[in-house]
Amino acid sequence: MMTNKIKYVMIILLCFTAGILFQKYIPDIIIFLKPETSAEKPFQESTRTPVDMNNIKTGRVMFALVIGQSNAANYGEILYRSKHSVYNYYDGRLYIAEDPLLGASGTKGSVWGMLGDSLIEKGYCDKVIFVSIAVGSTSIGCWSDGRCSIILKETMNELKKNNIKLTHIFWHQGEEDNYNNTPADIYKSRLKKILDTIRGYGEDAPLFVSIASFNPWVKGKPEGIGYEIRRAQKEFIKENRNVFIGPDTDTIVSSFDRFDRVHFSESGMKKYSQLWINSIIRRRK
């Protein structure tokens, strides 16, 4: 029979192993399983480098609104600080863009500063401003009718009050609705409501819709891909005016590109940025 001493050792080992597994996997699962939670408080503006708003009144300026869930927010593996004239608009003020971007949830990195630098280096524009309000773990219903819709309306009011016209709108969302098995027609109707909300503020900038559904935690989908969500996104692009295809991030799913199986590693962020560049430049042509 097993002695009490051996039993205690085995219990300790089991607890230790369980603790490691919990730390490694559970936080990532929660990203998709928890309900719509409030965004983390943004970092204090006092830690950021302010920029005079007059700086963006000249030259070729790209002013982009970023909405969606975690892969559009601050959940990337590395922190990035812009090298060129890339800025973060938040609460009526302008700052040099550095991760985590003010306005979005999460405390890690994002693709946007990297994207802005690349667009300037390629000569697409002279200055880039991101208004990032993406919130991790949010469904499309949150943005059409829930608390995220309030965030969106408050942001649109702020932009209108300051006479700011958007040049681009970037939508990256779908992973949560893949988990929820949202039907394509419902997804499209909710996305249309989001677009109508933005258009209602007089903003006619092109909307770029990411083809995004990959969620490694969904049941019954070994690849983690939500084909119903992908179909909804593609149909919405075809059925609506001034709406264009964005990155297909379901093509960036290797363990090298998703450091926690869900969010982008440094290599994944670079690939994601390049896909955005391709979509933006393709539309201009």
Domain ranges of the chain: 1-31, 51-284
- Res 6 pLDDT > 90: no
Q: What is the model's pLDDT at position 28? A: 39
With pLDDT > 90 as the criterion, what percentage of the chain qualifies?
A: 81
With pLDDT > 70 as the criterion, what percentage of the chain qualifies?
A: 84
Tens-digit pLDDT profile for residues 236-268: 999 999 999 999 999 999 999 999 999 999 999
- Res 40 pLDDT > 50: no
Residue 106 tokens read as 């999460």
Average pLDDT over residues 145-174: 98
| 80 backbone dihedrals φ, ψ, rounded to 5° | -130, 140
pLDDT confidence bin for 3, thresholds 50/70/90: low
pLDDT confidence bin for 284, thresholds 50/70/90: confident
Q: What is the model's pLDDT at position 132? A: 98
Q: What is the model's pLDDT at position 69? A: 98
- Res 200 pLDDT > 70: yes
Q: Which of 261, 228, 186 is nearest to 32 (CA)?
A: 261
The overall average pLDDT reported for the chain is: 89
Average pLDDT over residues 205-223: 96
Task: Kindly give, in sequence order, each residue whose CB lies less than 8 Å from that of residue 106, ignoring residues fewer than 6 positions away.
Answer: 40, 70, 73, 74, 75, 100, 136
- Res 155 pLDDT > 50: yes
Edge-first strand listing for the sheet containing 207-211: 50-51, 93-96, 86-90, 127-132, 61-68, 168-172, 207-211, 243-248
Task: Give the Å distances, CA to CA, from 213 to 68, 181, 238, 278.
Answer: 12, 11, 18, 20
Placement of tokens 């070994």 in the chain? 222
Task: Tell me how far the alpha carbon of residue 201 is from its chain's centroid.
Answer: 22
* Cβ-based neighbour number of residue 16 at 10 Å: 10
The whole-model pTM stands at 0.86
The DSSP H or E segment spanning 33 is helix 4-33
Q: Which of 124, 113, 155 is nearest to 59 (CA)?
A: 124
Average pLDDT over residues 123-139: 98
Residue 161 tokens read as 């009050």
Task: Kindly give, in sequence order, each residue whose CB lies less than 8 Å from that of residue 212, ignoring residues fewer than 6 positions away.
Answer: 68, 71, 172, 173, 174, 175, 229, 233, 247, 248, 249, 250
Q: What is the model's pLDDT at position 283? A: 86
Q: How far apart are CA 259 and CA 108, in angstroms?
A: 12
The DSSP H or E segment spanning 65 is strand 61-68
Average pLDDT over residues 114-125: 98
Name the superfamily (CATH) of residues 51-284.
SGNH hydrolase (3.40.50.1110)
